[in-house]
Amino acid sequence: MSNAFCPRGTLLQRGTNVVTPTGYTTLAEVRKITRTGAKSGFDNVTNMDSGSDEEMLPTIKTPGTWDFEVNFVPGDATQQTLLDDYNNQVLSPWKVQLPNTLGAWTFLAYVESEDVSLDFGKAATKSVKLQVTGPVTFTPAV
């Protein structure tokens, strides 16, 4: 039997204190959350003694981004905060809380971009990209 789960009920939350994250507030009407671009950097250290195969040395990790889409609700304070954070280049703590105490990711990030889509015949949406700085931590069963 599969242990897969449906992410319905997952919360995207913004904290208020970078040093000791507290006071997480849930963003309204999140539709989709995706983490992309996390990768390890490598330097080629192949030398005359390496033989016929390249030798690679892991160097620095790129934490990537968290991208999400919300139903755009112009009067919502949590969505206005995204624009304020973008305009003021605010570093904030973030949490992606899975449903049913399956776990949570925590990280620090800046709002890299904030795009609005007003497509006739569809719900207005806002797409946001969070640029992570530092590590991303996953804690199971919280």
CATH number of the domain at 45, please: 4.10.410.40
Report if residue 4 sits inside a domain.
no
| Half-sphere exposure of residue 142: CA atoms within 13 angstroms, side-chain side | 12
57 domain-assigned: yes
Is 2 contained in some domain?
no
- Residue 5 domain flag: no
What is residue 17's predicted lDDT score, i.e. its pLDDT? Answer: 84
* pLDDT confidence of residue 116: 96
Query: Residue 20: what pLDDT?
Result: 84
* The predicted structure's pLDDT at residue 65: 98
Q: How many domains does the chain have?
A: 1
User: In a structure prediction context, what are the per-residue pLDDT tens digits for the chain, which is 142 residues long?
Assistant: 999 999 999 999 999 888 888 889 999 999 999 999 999 999 999 999 999 999 999 999 999 999 999 999 999 999 999 999 999 999 999 999 999 999 999 999 999 999 999 999 999 999 999 999 999 999 998 7
Positions of E strands within 1-142: 11-14, 25-26, 30-36, 39-44, 56-62, 65-71, 92-97, 103-117, 125-140
pLDDT at position 43: 97
Percentages of the chain per state (helix, strand, coil), in multiples of 5: 10, 50, 40
Domain extent at residue 120? 11-140
